[in-house]
Amino acid sequence: MNKSLRKLSFPYLLWILIFTVVPLLLVAFFALTAYDSNGNLYLTLDGFRNVFGGETVAFSFFGLSLQLPLYINVFIRSLLIAIVCTLLCLLLGYPAAWIMAKMEIEHRRGSSILLFLLVMPMWMNALLRTYAWLALLEPKGIVNNFLGLFGLGPVQFLYNDFGIGLGMVYNYLPFMVLPIYSVLVKISPSLLEAAADLGADPRRVMLKVVLPMSRPGILSGINMVLMPAMTTFLIPDLLGGGRYLLIGNAIERQYMVSRDYTTGSALSIVLLIFVLLSMQIVSKNTDPDADEGGLVA
């Protein structure tokens, strides 16, 4: 049996080796090597020195002003924008997930339609979805034309924090809703009825029963939104007009514009370490022995 399982797993192991392990080793190789003026390859830590050193720029946050290395500044800015995007997705996504799950639990019509409407935009390429916002939000776009009917605008929706945040929330909201929905839909109605019979009002049922049970879905959703929001480069390029340098844009420019593979790979390694630490934190806060959301009737 073990031999047959090994044979069945071989294609997957080969896939992981070729498309995951080898690329990571190449990134590590480029991060630790460079070519001199004569074209000779040598080992170096210049990429990491560029990441953690080099020129400094001012970083301001709630009145606090610091002089930080450029890429550390970019990293912190990317993290803050990703955190805001994740919180907005959680605030918008949790009620949507609860509404769909409650409709499913109570066997009411419409939950499958709502789920379909949520998932349907994901069938379209992310580039096309983001370009659609350009047509909607540009100064002479549909939204500003509509506002013009009431004597408002034109409003500058694009090429600022609002445009980038809107694009991120729109693209990543399903990744928050679906994990939470998959947990909430498994809650047995008898648990909610028992809490109500014991005197809990709807608010206490939500805070004391539903919310704790949905914790694994919330953590999973946070992990699925925070990492892509932090590493994206497409949305800031399109909706930010290329004026915002986030960590994804910094890596892209090192590879595609500067051709500095050493610094670009060092940035990628630092980002990968951060991603792995974040995933470790999430896994530690999720009980692996508990059923998802503790949903045992």
Split the chain (297 residues) into runs of 10 and give each run's mean pLDDT. 72 90 94 88 91 80 75 90 94 93 81 86 85 87 88 85 90 94 89 84 86 90 90 88 84 90 94 86 63 40
Q: Do 172 and 252 form a contact (C-beta atoms < 8 A)? A: no
Token output for 62? 């709630």
pLDDT at 291: 45
Cα 44 to Cα 22: distance, rounded to the nearest angstrom: 21
In the prediction, which pLDDT does 267 show?
94
Task: Reply yes or no: is the peptide bond before residue 216 cis, omega within 30 of 0.
Answer: no
Residue 275 gets the label, from left (phi > 0), alpha (psi -120 to 50) or beta, of alpha
Entry pTM: 0.86
Please name the residue that has the structure tokens 């210049």: 46
- Condensed to tens digits (0 to 9), the pLDDT of residues 183-224 reads 999 888 888 888 888 888 888 888 888 899 999 899 989 989
Per-domain residue ranges of the chain: 69-258+266-294
CATH class of 69-258+266-294: mainly alpha
The token pair that represents 250 in the structure block: 């910094």
| Strands (DSSP E) found in the chain | 33-35, 41-43, 56-61, 64-69
What distance in Å separates the CA atoms of residue 207 and residue 213, rounded to the nearest whole number?
Answer: 10
Q: What is the pLDDT of residue 285?
A: 66
pLDDT of residue 182: 92
What integer pLDDT is reported at residue 3 of this predicted model? 72
Distances, alpha carbon 195 to alpha carbons 184, 198, 210, 239, 257, in Å? 16, 5, 10, 46, 60
Distance (Å, whole) CA 48 – CA 264: 10
Q: How far apart, in whole angstroms, are the C-alpha atoms of residue 278 and residue 273?
A: 9
- 45: Cβ contacts below 8 Å, ≥ 6 apart: 32
State how far the Cα of 138 lies from the Cα of 7, in Å rounded to an integer. Answer: 55
CA distances, 276 to each of 194, 279, 282, 288 (Å): 40, 5, 10, 18
